[in-house]
Each structure stands twice: as C-alpha cells, then as structure tokens.
A and B are shown apart, each in its own frame.
Chain A
C-alpha cells in the first residue's frame, strides 16, 4: 500500500473556485485511479488560494491483474488451407500482444472463432501515475480557464509548481511547461522559500509550519475563531454572514483578523447600507454592539502577519472611510428628491428594448397588481397599501445609491420611504415587491409586498415569453427561471388559492396596449413554465410521479403543494398501492361511460355493488376530511423548504379512503360492468365514474401508476 500526495501550486485562484476546484480534483482523481485499477482507500482534498492538493492513501503497489478473453476472427478466415495463419490471425495476435501460436480456437454457438487470452494490469502504480496525474490536471473541470505565456494548456490561473510524491518517491511529470518536484511552498510573505515535503503524511503539518492552513475546514474555523476573539475582546459580536466567511476563508492562507473602526457619524446610514459596503466592497465583517445594533467597528481578515498591525488597520480604515463617504453622499443626495421624483427617472432606464422603460413596466405592474388584488379578494387595507406603494415602486432604481450598489434595490426603496415619512406598511411593500431576488432570499413579509412581487415577475415573464426569449437548456440569460420560482414561492408562502392561469391572465391584460403581441399561447406557455418551477421545488419533497399527480390535480400552487404532502402520507400506507392498481382498472372502465348519470341503488343487481356504493360515501368523506385537514394544518409556507409542520391526525381519514380497496376489488372481480341491460350497465359505469372522481380529488392519480411505495 502506498500514499500519493499531489499538489498543483498556482497563482492566486478566484476565491469561489478554491472549494469547487478542490472537490473537483478529488473526484476526478478518485475516478481516474479507479479506472486505472489502482483505487485509493481514502482521499482527502486540500485547498488554499494558491494550491489544490489531494492526499490519496492506500494505493495498491500495482494495478490489479485481469485476464480477458478476446474474440478474434472466425477460424475459417484465420488459417489458410495448409493450416498457416492468415493476415487476419497475425494482425489479431499482434494487436493484443500475444504470439499467433498462443491463439486458441474455440467452437461457439455462432461458429468457430480464434480467442486470445490477454493479461492486463500488473503495472506498477509508480509508473502509471505520472501520465494519469498530468491528464487529471488537463481535464480538471472549471468554468473559465485561461492560457498564459506560450503555453497552450489552459488552467484556472497559471500553474507555478507541481508536487507529486508516492510515499518517498518523486513522480516525474510535466504539464503546461511545469515539471513536477517534491517541494511545496509556504505563505507568499511569511515563508517564501520552497521546501521539500518529507512524506505525504507530513504535508499538512509542514505547511502549517510554513504559515499555510491547507485544510479548508480548519482554515474556515480559524477565521471564525479569530473573528469571535477580536470582537469579544472589544465587547462586540460579529455579524453572521456564512457567504462572507466562505469567501474570506478562500482569500487567505492563514487568517489574521484586524479590528478597525470608522467614524460614528456614518451610523446615520441604514444598517443594510453599512453592511453592504463593508461586506461586498471590502470583505470586512461588520460588528454588533451588545444591544444588537451595528457598531462603528469592523473586522478585516488579513493574509499577512506584519510587524506593525497599525499599518494594515490604517489602510483598511482609510479605504472603508472612502467607501462610506461615497455611500453617505448618495444617501444625502438621493434624499434631496422624493421617491416620486426619483420615479420620473424610471422612464430613462431601459427594461428591455421591445418592452419599454422601467416606467412602462411599473405602469403595467400597476394594472396587473390591481387585477390580482381583485382576483384574490384581498381587503381594502392591503389594496390601499398597494395603491400607495405603486407610484414609487422600484423608484429606488433611479437613485445613485442603487446605481452604485445594485444589491440594495428594495432595501433603499424602503429606507427612503421611511425617511420621507411614508407608512411602514408602504415601505415594507416596496422592499417585499422585489423579493425574493435569489433562492436564498426571503419571500415578501406582507400581503401587499407579495402582490407587487407577483405582478412584477409575471409582467417580466409574459413580456419575455411574448418576445420568444424563453430559457432553453441551461441558457437563461434573463433569469426567467428565478422569476418563475419566485412566483411559485410567493404564492405558496401566502397560501393564496388563485389558479395560475387567472394570475397570468391578469399580467396579459396589462399588455393589451403594448407593442408586443401577447395571446393565449403566451399565457399557456407562462403557466406551464411556472408549473415546471413548482414541480422543481416540490421534487425536493416527493418523487416525480407524486409531484406530477399533485400538480395535474390542482389549479393553484398551494393546492399542489398540499396534495404532495397528502400523497406523501397516503403512499406510506401499504394498501394504497393496491388501491392505485384498482383505481387504474376503474378509470379504464369508466372511460367507457357514454354519458354522465346518477348512481341509482335501485339498479344494483349483484352483491358487491351496494357495499362499494356505501364505501364510496365513506371514502368521499375521507377525501374531503383530508383536503380540509391539509388546508387547516398547512395554510401557507415557502416552498424553498418543506412545510413548517408535518401533516398529522389524518390516519382516520386515510383509512376511510383506502378502505375503498376491498369493496372495489370485490366489485371489479365479481361484477360484469358491461352488462347486457343498458340501464344496469350505465349505472355500474356511473358508480365507477364516481369512484374515479372522488379519488381524483386527491390528484391525478393515474400518474402514480407503477409508483414504488
């Protein structure tokens, strides 16, 4: 057994690639080692901004030996009449590296053929690895590689060194003009000299001596600890931001936290503005005072241990001061105009060439929002908030602050609205109306915000679909899938039972006077598109058939989401699968009914008919109870996750539904549905039709055919 250490030393990698690249390298190497029959027992990935490395332990000394039998030409063409081998036989032997005399003739069902026994493998691992590793470097998946110097082999950033060590043996390979060695490098400034790695097992410890924390998890922990330490010393608490913690972890090889301060007077800025400037522009951690408010202190994480920390701190403070100065300038200058004055600026901001400006867009959103309010039957309170918010909805897009910090859209709308004395509800609606921007973002907190958010997204979807700019494959340049997801999440989070086509229809109306033609075709496409997003969300909860059954049996998003939960509960019952098999037979037969008819007990002739009729009444109650329970227990939730609580207390109702199984079974087995007598036949078909109708209230159960329990 041998251990391999492979390190690709680079110029600074993009921080987002450090983790991704390290995982990709480990995965690819594991795959290639396995394919070469020298699998590793254990793989550990290491990564810093200047290196991707893998420790592969427990490699066999040589690749596994395998004997393969390979079929060659038919015996008939392999030998001449005098028994000497023909070219076909010679070529086959040569190709497989065996002598022609070693070929065996064997009779098979398809005739007589020549066979070669070929031993493969047994190659020393040390001989295999150089070529394999070089290919791994070339094949490492990455989104955007670059070339450098005169090299043609692209990589994320230029490769500076390669380290390949099999136990104490150096492996020689060359990629992109770089020859491998047995040395690594420490921290760029604190341990700049290359050093020899003694053994794969010593790699991490030796790097640690050279001021590099190669284990990413340990480095992340060190960043978090350092952050906690310097803030605690100052009586502060760090601002929690996992994304920033990850990014900072991959911007340093060893973290040195530095606590700095900015002028108290900047605290007049909204917290989100302060935090955005610190986090996005400087990768500094904001801090909170014990009372929870943002403090005028921050933590920068340096990559260098310097003799005089004050130099670094002063640098950080000065840069941050410049940024905050700008932000305050925007904050003050933006407020010289009211939001409604900023709204005039929307006509100068393009939404999309053929769809007009942002002013045109918000006008349409107003029409849609009005229709959505009506369709939802929301109260006068919500309507009045929406009405007040509409004239300034997205007006913050025209402010300098949002121009400079686009991620503050909505946040600034809210802040400027509050600053000019608008009611909190209106301010909240302005923020909610642009949420959720991403999958991680929260849904709008209020009904008014949700109405705006829906109207805004639907307007965009309808407009872009009308232009034929729908996403295809992985290409979604306008982020329409994100909009579809937002519509689905917002609807479910409010528990609004509005049919999707009604909702999309509202957005269509707003386009009536637009230059772009919108029609029912666009409406169908958008509705289907949103349903696809709903399906994607719900598939986190249940299998594809269950999700499809729930969606095809629902008109509203929340209905589909609740049916998924119900079907999850039902499919856990053993009898349900049997019931589904019977449902399918019943549904097939029921299609034979030529006309709808009421079930008439007087026309029952055979014994199983009345029991089924009775069971059906109980099942109908059960189904209604289930739907009512789902509505009561699961009123609303954000589909990004499962419902806040599991469906409970539905055992009785489920039993009533599945108890249909016995009588239905008896009916289908014991009764000739297509009876001679037309009235009897019609009655039996009507009965089956009822069964199907009742069960289908739970969803399009025909989708569940063949579903595993």
Chain B
C-alpha cells in the first residue's frame, strides 16, 4: 500500500466516525498535540472529533537521514475524540483493518505508557500499542491540558505512520517507503532532513534563537492580554520551536533548560486560561494551579 493510500484510508475511516479531516497546522509543532485543533479543543466542554496528518518537528531527533526510524521532521497521524467514546479500543483496531492489517493475525498489545508534556502543562494516561513487539500507536486519555482538568476527557491516538508503512511495504528505512507511484518518502524528504539536521545541530544561530524566544514570548503575552487567543498561541508554538532548536544545538545547561520549559509552560497555561475565559468556561475551582 502506498503511503498516500494509507492517509486516504485513515482519513476515510475516521471521517466515517464523525471526525473533521483537518489540514495540518502551518506553524512548526513538536507533535500533533500542539495543534490548536488538539490543544485548544481538548479544553472546555464542547464535543469535538478531528483527524488528519500531523507533520511534526523535533530538531534534536534528526539523524541526517541515517537512522531508519528517527527524524527531525516526520509524519504522525493524529486523531482526537472528545469525549472519549465507549469501545474506543475496538474503534482503533478496526482502523487497522481498514489499513489491511488483521489484528487477529498479530500479537497486538496495549502496554501502559503515560504521557506528560512539561511545556504544555499536560498529562494523560494510556498505552503504547504494540504490534508484534513494534510500537505503532500512542493512545492517551488527556487528564489535564494547559494546567486545566479535561472535562470531558479527550482521547488522542497518534499513529506512527512511517513505521506502519515500513511494515506494510516490507522496507527497512522510512525513506524507502513508496509514497506515491514511483516517488519514495526519501524523494520527498531526504534533502530536507539532511539540511535541517545540519542546521539544527551545526549551523543554527543560538543567539538569534534566544533573541527570538524572548521576542516571541513577549508577543504571546501581549496578544493573550488582548484576548487574541489564536494569534497568541501561534507565538507560544514559535517559542516552543525556538526552545527545541536551542536544545538540539546543545547550548542549554540543565538549569537553563528547565527555565525555558517553565516559560513555555506558563505561556501554554495562559493560553488555556484565555481560551476558556473567552468561552465563558473558566471555572476557577477546576484548576488547582490557576
């Protein structure tokens, strides 16, 4: 199955279960969880279902394209169901059927894996899903986001699409996956990966990133005070990416790193508060840390 067919099938499957198939965000994010369609929509009481390709960036994970599994830019497939429905595990297993994987023919396991994002002030409980020993999906019931309790609880499914495709196509490197007829993932991403790996590790300008971080942080705070939640949150994401670039460059001491994490977290919490306030859903008692 071509990589793009994988996307089509997942889109179709989850659309059939009431999900909006949303286009990816156009700001750099570390994971689908940072998307406004996940982070913000997980807050508050309104039901929500969204799915779609979620390209993500983790500068420190770059390996110049050498490692078959690790990249600084990669494709996740992100599903958020709010509230988490009954029988969501079966719903997920059925999505594997849709991809041509018969769970009955494999050893599929839900192995405890709890998730926490210090920069988002978010945590959840759930599993990593193993297929014949390989981790193919993260499965998380959000308990808190932006420091606020999630009511109702959303469930987030994050497919490791590249691994699944490697498995289905029987290839050993994500770049050997056939994306479209005659076009491999490597054709699409190799140069991008190599150059960004070099940029992240060798040629990024740490002083510029520090300056940018400070500027983005100031702007995020200013916008959030003007109740401009979405623009404000974009600057939070920019802060997060600047921090990730500094981290990848290896220029942060342990303490400094903690400091940056705290600063992003404060912004994420401020965003969550502003979002809930704008919706008239800010229940002070719901947040112990507010």
Contacts and interface: CB of A to CB of B under 8 A. Distances in A.
Among B69, B104, B112, B132, the one with the most A-chain Cβ atoms within 10 Å of its Cβ is B132
A486 to B, nearest CB: 25
Nearest to B135: A319
Interface in B56-90: 68-69, 83-86, 89
B107 A146 contact: no
Nearest to A154: B143
A316 B133 contact: yes
Contacts of A644: none
Contact of A311 (B83, B105, B111, B114): B105
Question: Interface residue tally of chain B, by bracket?
Answer: 35 or more
A157 B125 contact: yes
Given A144-B125, A149-B153, A350-B253, A311 B132 contact: yes
A14 B126 CA distance: 9
A300 B254 contact: no
Contact of B141 (A146, A282, A314): A146
A316 B132 contact: yes
Nearest to A17: B112
Nearest to B104: A189
Contact of B134 (A49, A256, A303, A318): A318
B88 to A, nearest CB: 8
Given A312-B132, A318-B134, A350-B253, A149 B84 contact: yes
Q: Which of A149, A284, A304 has the most CB of B within 10 A?
A: A149
A12 B126 CA distance: 9
A158 B89 CA distance: 11
A65 B278 CA distance: 59
Contacts of B105: 306-308, 311
A308 B104 CA distance: 10
B125 A315 contact: no
Nearest to A315: B132
A312 B107 contact: yes
A16 B254 CA distance: 32
B131 interface: yes
Interface residues of A, number: 41
A251 interface: yes
Interface in A560-589: none
Contact of A148 (B103, B127, B153, B255): B153
A304 B89 contact: no
A477 interface: no
Given A316-B133, A350-B253, A148 B141 contact: yes
A14 B112 contact: yes
B186 interface: no
A248 to B, nearest CB: 11
Nearest to A156: B125
Contacts of B69: 322
Contacts of A151: 153
Contact of A150 (B134, B152, B254): B152
A320 B134 CA distance: 9
A399 interface: no
Contact of B84 (A148, A303, A322): A148
B108 interface: yes
A320 B132 CA distance: 11
A699 B224 CA distance: 69
A633 B38 CA distance: 68
A356 to B, nearest CB: 11
Interface in A38-57: 49
B132 A319 contact: yes
Contact of B133 (A15, A300, A304): A300
Given A315-B132, A322-B68, A11 B104 contact: no
Given A15-B112, A146-B125, A315 B131 contact: yes
B109 A251 contact: yes
A353 interface: yes
A353 B254 CA distance: 8
Interface in A325-341: none
Nearest to A302: B107
B110 interface: yes
B143 A149 contact: no
A306 B101 CA distance: 13
Contacts of B143: 146-147
A12 B108 contact: no
A13 B153 CA distance: 18
Contacts of B134: 315, 318-319
A33 B148 CA distance: 38
A150 B69 CA distance: 37
19 contacts: A12-B109, A146-B125, A147-B141, A147-B150, A149-B85, A149-B86, A150-B151, A189-B104, A282-B133, A304-B104, A306-B106, A306-B107, A311-B105, A312-B106, A314-B132, A316-B132, A316-B133, A319-B134, A320-B133
Given A312-B106, A314-B132, 8 more contacts: A146-B125, A148-B83, A149-B152, A158-B141, A300-B107, A303-B108, A306-B104, A308-B105
